[in-house]
């Protein structure tokens, strides 16, 4: 099933009130900090309800105090005492653990940034969706592991999803939602990551510190590795399928190393619409934050005469097997994307910890998909069970590959 954005309720938040109440799930990460950077420039317009983080108590407490948040949540319960100490005397409520993340997402914020990395963001994001919130969605893993279920809930509870991933935000800006049948195809652009031209023998030897250095974007470690394997683009293919009313065959990936065109939509008459901009996540985040209006950002204004040339080519599916794997997973549907996501998370963190090689990431994902039978999922419990089992199987594969 494919539920498009036109069916999602749209509320003119920017026009209805001058003060916007905001919660940021994952405030200490790259997306979270960029969101706060924008808010800081116009603090009077925003009231921060909750900020959450995994383990970085110091950064979370600093943010909570600076933005006068009502609540700060640290996901790792063992750090609750440290957070209480850091927030002593401030009047900010400190909380910890999974239930506190849910509590943060339940607070009546007008706008929730979903920027926790990985499937860990699913539960709090669904909590916000179930109270009909406007959710700025940066976390793509939620949609990959539970897309059908999540979009059903968006519809059922009248929530609004604003795509923040730069490609999906670009498509959101240029897609004719009133006439979706006039769309011929969506082209997701991919920078190709830091190893676009690296030959396969050298790829074997890639170290984590090389893989996290993206040529155009500054991002968290997991998405940087995903960009390096191009799994990121595969995850985005699945993300686009759930967000936009198109068929799987209407989605394509084009390598565009400059990351200036963030995606394109081709219409039946031959017109191609694109969204362009400097590679700065504050542009798509601002689009979500001000939506349906626009706001100033500090992002460098694009000067195409400075850029000079833009390049485009087909992705190399031999050196980046993640692209074929994700395309097949999208075709299969059911539990396959959930397995893919869980397995990729296990493999990426094993690589970052130096346990396995760079090329092992895609191998582990493929092995895991081959070992587990796919089936249809009907509820969130199914998603959890499939996710848990895929992590167990992937961890076995990691053990078999430890260097
Ligand atoms: P990051 O690693 O910089 O930050 C992740 C945030 O999630 C941090 O606040 C961290 O404390 C929190 N977190 C991590 N594990 C957690 C857990 N188990 N429980 C609760 N909180 C946890 O990641 P990022 O680069 O900001 O990316 C966030 C999400 O946005 C990812 O899904 C990514 O794919 C997506 N995204 C990021 C970018 C980007 O430019 N960074 C662009 C597009 C999409
Ligand atoms: Mg992206």
Each residue of 62-100: pLDDT tens digit? 999 999 999 999 999 999 999 999 999 999 999 999 999
Residue 9 has pLDDT above 80, yes or no: no
Minimum CA distance residue for ligand 1 atom 40: 219
Residue 7 has pLDDT above 60, yes or no: no
Q: Are strands 251-255 and 261-267 parallel, antiparallel or unpaired?
A: unpaired
Q: Which residue has the tokens 């995850």?
A: 235
The rounded distance, in Å, linking the Cα atoms of 224 and 210 is 10
C-alpha pair distances (Å), 374 with each of 113, 322, 337, 370:
32, 18, 10, 10
Mean pLDDT of 267-287: 98
Q: Report the interhelical angle of 122-130 vs 98-106 (nearest 10°).
A: 30
Residue 318 has pLDDT above 60, yes or no: yes
Judged by its nearest atom, the ligand closest to the C-alpha of residue 193 is 2
Ligand 1 pocket mutation pick from 25, 26, 55, 231 by most atoms within 8 angstroms of CB: 26
If 0-12 CB within 10 Å is exposed, 13-18 middle and 19+ buried, where does residue 192 land? buried
Minimum CA distance residue for ligand 1 atom 18: 120
How many A from CA of 151 to the centre of ligand 1? 21
pLDDT of residue 164: 98
Residue 359 has pLDDT above 70, yes or no: yes
The rounded distance, in Å, linking the Cα atoms of 53 and 107 is 16
Residue 11 has pLDDT above 50, yes or no: no
Q: What is the mean pLDDT of the chain?
A: 95
Ligand 1 pocket mutation pick from 170, 219, 233, 299 by most atoms within 8 angstroms of CB: 219
Mean pLDDT of 129-142: 98
Mean pLDDT of 250-265: 98
pLDDT of residue 402: 84
| Count of beta carbons in the 10 Å neighbourhood of residue 106 | 16
Percent of the chain with pLDDT over 70: 96
Judged by its nearest atom, the ligand closest to the C-alpha of residue 52 is 1
Judged by its nearest atom, the ligand closest to the C-alpha of residue 164 is 1
Ligand 1: lining residues by beta carbon, under 6 Å: 26-32, 53-54, 56, 75, 115-117, 120, 138-141, 165, 217, 219-223, 281
pLDDT single digits (tens) 36-64: 999 999 999 999 999 999 999 999 999 99
Provide the pLDDT confidence category of residue 122 given band limits of 50, 70 and 90: very high
How many A from CA of 224 to the centre of ligand 1? 11
pLDDT of residue 61: 98
* DSSP-H helix ranges across 308-359: 322-332, 336-352
Q: Beta strands of 272-334 (E only): which ranges?
A: 272-276
Ligand 1 pocket mutation pick from 23, 27, 28, 31 by most atoms within 8 angstroms of CB: 31
- Reduce the DSSP state of residue 94 to 3 states and report it: strand
Mean pLDDT of 118-141: 98
Mean pLDDT of 145-174: 97
Comparing CA positions, the residue from 231, 238, 222 lying closest to residue 195 is 231
pLDDT of residue 12: 43
Residue 254 is encoded by which pair of tokens? 């084009």
Q: Which domains can be identified in the chain, with CATH numbers?
A: 20-164 (3.40.50.720), 176-278+302-318 (no CATH), 333-403 (1.10.1740.10)
Sign of the CA dihedral 116, 118, 120, 124? positive
Provide the pLDDT confidence category of residue 217 given band limits of 50, 70 and 90: confident
pLDDT of residue 17: 57
Q: What is the pTM of this model?
A: 0.95
The rounded distance, in Å, linking the Cα atoms of 80 and 98 is 12
Q: Which atom of ligand 1 is nearest to the CA of 56?
A: 11
Residue 378 has pLDDT above 90, yes or no: no
Residue 2 has pLDDT above 50, yes or no: no
């Amino acid at each position: 099933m494919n539920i498009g954005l036109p069916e999602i309720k749209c509320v003119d938040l920017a026009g209805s009130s001058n003060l916007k109440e905001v919660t940021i799930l994952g405030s200490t990460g790259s997306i979270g900090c960029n969101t706060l950077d924008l808010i800081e420039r116009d603090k009077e317009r925003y009231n921060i309800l909750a900020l959450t983080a995994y383990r970085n108590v110091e950064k979370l407490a600093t943010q909570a105090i600076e933005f006068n948040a009502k609540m700060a949540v640290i996901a790792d319960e063992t750090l609750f005492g440290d957070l209480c100490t850091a927030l002593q005397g401030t009047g900010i409520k400190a909380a910890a653990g999974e239930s506190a993340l849910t509590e943060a997402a339940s607070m009546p914020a007008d706008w929730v940034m979903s920027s926790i990395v990985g499937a860990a963001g699913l539960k709090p994001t669904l909590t916000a969706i179930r109270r009909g919130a406007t959710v700025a969605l940066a976390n793509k893993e939620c949609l990959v592991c539970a897309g059908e279920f999540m979009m059903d809930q968006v519809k059922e509870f009248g929530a609004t999803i604003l795509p923040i991933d730069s490609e999906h935000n670009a498509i959101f800006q240029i897609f004719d939602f009133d006439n979706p049948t006039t769309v011929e195809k969506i082209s997701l652009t991919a920078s190709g990551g830091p190893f676009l031209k690296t030959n396969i023998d050298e790829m074997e030897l890639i170290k984590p510190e090389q893989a996290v250095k993206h040529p155009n974007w500054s991002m968290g470690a997991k998405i940087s590795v995903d960009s390096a394997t191009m799994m990121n683009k595969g995850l985005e293919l699945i993300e686009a399928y759930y967000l936009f009313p198109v068929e799987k065959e209407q989605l394509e990936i084009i390598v565009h190393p400059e990351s200036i065109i963030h995606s394109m939509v081709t219409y039946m008459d031959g017109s191609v619409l694109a969204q362009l901009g400097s590679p700065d996540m504050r542009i798509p985040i601002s689009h979500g934050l001000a939506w349906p209006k626009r706001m100033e950002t500090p992002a460098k204004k694009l000067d195409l005469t400075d850029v000079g040339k833009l390049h485009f080519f087909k992705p190399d599916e031999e050196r980046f097997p993640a692209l074929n794997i994700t395309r097949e997973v999208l075709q299969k549907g059911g539990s396959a994307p959930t397995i893919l996501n869980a397995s990729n998370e296990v493999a990426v963190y094993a690589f970052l910890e130096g346990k396995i090689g760079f090329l092992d990431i895609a191998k582990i994902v493929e092995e895991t998909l081959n070992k587990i039978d796919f089936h249809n999922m009907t509820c969130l419990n199914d998603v959890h069970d499939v996710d848990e089992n895929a992590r167990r199987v992937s961890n076995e594969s990691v053990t078999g590959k430890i260097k």
